[in-house]
């Protein structure tokens, strides 16, 4: 079966064909190198607006449900509703990504986001919104994102040459992290200035812009299909491919580590702000901003490196650094030192994630990329589980001790992978 050949070589191979000559890069600064490619440039702009709308929507949705009910339980539940579809629909999304035209799939999912956001805006504006409608909106948008993300991620290797792939995924991280820092910060001002309904209207305009950007992207045609397997068979084929390819399986396996062990740090940050560092809610915002600023800085630096060698070794080293940064942060009682540590932690973690995703996408053949990407994105589902376990452990041992333990485990697993998986170290 095509796409099931063993990937045992240490060097990553790239299976995508660019259908037109790649424009030459004449600038010295490598940071925005991949944006020389017209179609990726439009994809990146659409990512910027989509993630910006997503972050603003997250805060606006939470504000709306809490303002309506005053319930912290429902506030947490509506956030969970947005993440719920990824647990069940991600494998199906991967199959559809490989079966359908990816441009059509992306435009369809963004159209769903546009219509649902415009609908909730009108319901809020006319004072007809109810709690169940808010939850339905959260579920619908979460479902749209679940089907959109594999298409968007797996499309990048079709739009840029191999030497630009690392830069392209790093710039995607720049788009995500910059909006993660800016989006929540301005969402509150937007609510104050335009109201909740006005905020949803602005988000719908952003989704409309995303549809326009995607519509003008030229995407190479998908490879001819030699069979007409069922959706169930193709889903099983994706899991079999991952299990049979040691490089792909290794990249997905190590991708779970930060979702389980580093994501809980953000959730536990209020404890450090209040009880460890004694800086209150104002300090909490600065601590979270420091993590985001570190991630943004790391993504920009990674984009500036160009197509460097030894990506596998640097990926594992970044994971080790993330673990050590968590250990040091857990023992710090000085606010400004903690800010510096969080900068390092944010930069190393985003560097790890970008390289992990780049190596995975470059290794997988185009006809399998959607299914493998959807399986890879399932690791995000481990984040709530890791946060829940961390919360239970904190009640027994304390926040500093739990983060110290998680940092030790993360660094230990990364060191073990670097030692026992030489084919991972050698990836280029």
Q: Tell me: pLDDT of 217 over 70.
A: yes
Average pLDDT, the chain: 82
> What is 249-283 written as a DSSP string?
HHHHHHHHHHHHHTTHHHHHHHHIIIIIS--HHHH
Reported as a single tens digit per residue, the pLDDT across 317-353 is: 999 999 999 999 999 999 999 999 999 998 998 888 8
Q: What is the 3-state secondary structure (H, E, C) of 146-209?
A: HHHHHHHHHHHHHHCCHHHHHHHHHHHHHHHHHHHHHHHHHHHHHHHHHHHHHHHHHHHHHHHH
How much is the average pLDDT of 189-198? 83
165 touches 14 (CB < 8 A): yes
Model pLDDT, residue 185: 66
Residue-wise pLDDT tens digits, 225-277: 555 677 788 888 888 998 888 888 888 888 888 888 888 887 788 788 888 88
Cβ(156)–Cβ(169) under 8 Å? yes
Ranking 147-156, 301-310, 366-375 by mean pLDDT, the lowest is: 301-310
Q: Helix H segments across 305-381?
A: 311-331, 335-363, 369-377
Pull the structure tokens for residue 422. 């030489």
d(CA 315, CA 254) in angstroms, rounded, equals: 10
At residue 17, the pLDDT reads 39
The span from the CA of 231 to the CA of 237, in Å, is 10
Contact 338, 329 (CB under 8 A): yes
Are 365 and 2 contacting, i.e. CB atoms less than 8 angstroms apart? yes
Distance CA 309, CA 421 (A): 18
As a whole number of angstroms, the distance between CA 223 and CA 98 comes to 10
Residue 410 to residue 360: CA distance in whole angstroms: 20
Span between the terminal Cα atoms of the chain, in Å: 26
For residue 25, CA distances in Å to 30, 31, 299, 358, 372 come to: 9, 11, 20, 21, 31
Taking the C-alpha atoms of residue 426 and residue 428, their distance in angstroms, rounded to an integer, is 6
**CB crowding 176-195: b at 16 or more within 10 Å, else e:** bbbbbbebbeebeebbeeee
Find tokens 């560092």 and name the residue.
Answer: 277
The mean pLDDT value for 177-191 works out to 74
Is residue 198 packed enough to be buried (19+ CB in 10 Å), middle (13-18) or exposed (0-12)?
middle
Q: What pLDDT is attached to residue 2?
A: 37
In angstroms, the CA 379 to CA 253 distance is 9
- 70 Cβ contact partners less than 8 Å away, ≥ 6 residues apart: none
Distance of CA 214 to the CA centre of its chain: 19
**Percentage of the chain modeled with pLDDT above 90:** 26
Check if the beta carbon of residue 38 is closer than 8 Å to that of residue 51. no
Residue 59 CA to residue 55 CA, distance in Å, equals 7
pLDDT, one tens digit per residue, over 374-392 is: 888 877 767 767 777 887 8
The residue with greater pLDDT, 261 or 87, is 261
Whole-angstrom distance, CA of residue 12 vs CA of residue 15: 10
All structural domains of the chain:
34-162+176-215 (1.20.1250.20), 231-425 (1.20.1250.20)
d(CA 248, CA 363): 7
Give me the pLDDT at residue 26, please: 45
Could you report the per-residue pLDDT of 40-85, keeping only the tens digit for each?
999 999 999 998 888 888 778 888 888 888 876 777 677 778 777 7
Run of H or E residues at 419: helix 399-420
* pLDDT score of 326: 95
Dist CA 186 CA 178 (whole Å)? 12
Residue 206 has pLDDT above 80, yes or no: yes
- Where b means 16+ CB within 10 Å and e means fewer, 7-21 reads beeeebeebbebeee
């Amino acid at each position: 079966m095509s796409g099931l050949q063993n990937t045992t070589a240490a060097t990553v191979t790239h299976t995508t064909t660019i259908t037109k000559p790649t424009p030459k890069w004449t600038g010295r600064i490598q940071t925005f190198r991949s944006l020389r490619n017209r179609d990726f440039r439009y994809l990146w702009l659409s990512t910027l607006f989509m993630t910006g709308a997503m972050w603003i929507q997250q805060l606006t949705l939470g504000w709306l449900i809490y303002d309506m009910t005053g319930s912290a339980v429902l506030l947490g539940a509506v956030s969970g509703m947005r993440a719920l579809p990824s647990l069940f629909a991600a494998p199906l999304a991967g199959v559809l990504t490989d079966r359908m035209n990816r441009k059509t799939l992306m435009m369809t999912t963004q159209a769903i986001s546009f219509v649902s956001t415009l609908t909730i805006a009108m319901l809020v504006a006319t004072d007809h919104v109810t709690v169940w409608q808010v939850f339905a909106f959260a579920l619908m948008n979460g479902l749209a994102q679940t089907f959109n993300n594999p298409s968007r991620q797996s499309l990048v290797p079709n739009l840029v040459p191999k030497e630009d792939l690392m830069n392209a995924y790093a710039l995607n991280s720049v788009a995500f992290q910059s909006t993660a820092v800016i989006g929540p910060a301005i969402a509150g001002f937007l609510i104050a200035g335009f109201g909740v309904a006005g905020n949803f209207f602005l988000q719908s305009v952003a989704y409309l812009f995303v549809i326009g950007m995607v519509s003008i992207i030229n995407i190479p045609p998908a490879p001819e299909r030699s069979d007409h397997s069922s959706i169930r068979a193709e889903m099983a084929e994706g899991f079999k491919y991952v299990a049979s390819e040691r490089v792909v399986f290794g990249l997905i396996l190590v991708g779970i580590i930060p979702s389980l062990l580093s994501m809980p740090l953000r959730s536990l940050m209020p404890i450090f702000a209040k009880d460890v560092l004694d800086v209150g809610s104002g300090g909490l915002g600065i601590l979270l901003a420091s993590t985001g600023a570190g991630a943004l800085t790391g993504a920009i630096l990674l984009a500036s490196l160009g197509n460097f060698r030894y990506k596998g070794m640097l990926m594992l080293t970044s994971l080790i650094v993330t673990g050590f940064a968590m250990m040091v942060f857990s023992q710090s009682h000085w606010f400004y030192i903690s800010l510096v540590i969080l900068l390092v932690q944010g930069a190393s973690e985003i560097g790890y994630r970008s390289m992990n995703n780049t190596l995975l996408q470059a290794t997988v053949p185009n006809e399998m990329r959607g299914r493998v990407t959807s399986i890879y994105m399932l690791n995000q589902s481990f984040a709530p589980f890791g946060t829940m376990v961390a919360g239970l452990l904190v009640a027994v041992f304390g926040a500093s001790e739990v983060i110290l333990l998680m940092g030790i485990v993360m660094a230990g697993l990364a060191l073990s992978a670097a030692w026992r998986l030489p084919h991972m170290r050698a990836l280029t």
